[in-house]
Homo-oligomer: A and B are copies of this chain.
């Protein structure tokens, strides 16, 4: 319809950002986060360094975009899980499974990113624009827990706090595995272990 030119332009811009994003990812994979240099990204993206600054304000802006792109799928899937018709308990299981699936798919990169402190403080993501990544995820998990509490399946507890403990545990385990402590990559085993550890502490003992 209207403004096809503007639409084309927007599409092009998105393509360029994606292209640069992929280049950045490849650079991080090859050189680590410290090795993320704008000239390397430009070379990997087959554009000039100056071009990067057309699509991203500065390095931090690019890094934010990278992180968003990495976390977004996880976050979206997690939201889908939260909003699904599964029982809270199944949602939790689905979260565990999702986590391991996603991590295993991007092990090297995610490990690097997630472990990073430099994460220019406030990472902006979708509707969770002013929350940090961890907080975003933990927040959703907390909502699942709350639902479980309301439905009586889970015992009453400080949900966000529990969510942090759970999500922190899971991501640390994944980092440790990525770091080499445990070569096994059996998702179902991982999920089972998580359930075994966390569920008893969540379930409502008074429930049948």
Contacts and interface: CB of A to CB of B under 8 A. Distances in A.
Interface of A: 32-34, 112, 115-118, 132, 134-135, 138, 157-158, 160-162, 164-173, 175-176, 179, 181-182, 193-194, 196-203
Nearest to A172: B168
Given A115-B115, A115-B117, A176-B135, A165 B181 contact: no
A198 B157 CA distance: 13
A176 B116 contact: no
19 contacts: A32-B117, A116-B117, A134-B176, A135-B176, A138-B176, A164-B181, A165-B169, A165-B172, A165-B173, A165-B197, A165-B198, A168-B168, A168-B171, A168-B172, A168-B176, A169-B172, A172-B172, A197-B202, A200-B201
Give the one of A132, A168, A171, A179 with max B CB within 10 A. Answer: A168
B172 A171 contact: yes
Contact of A196 (B33, B196, B201): B201
A138 B181 CA distance: 11
Contacts of A112: 117
Contacts of A116: 115, 117
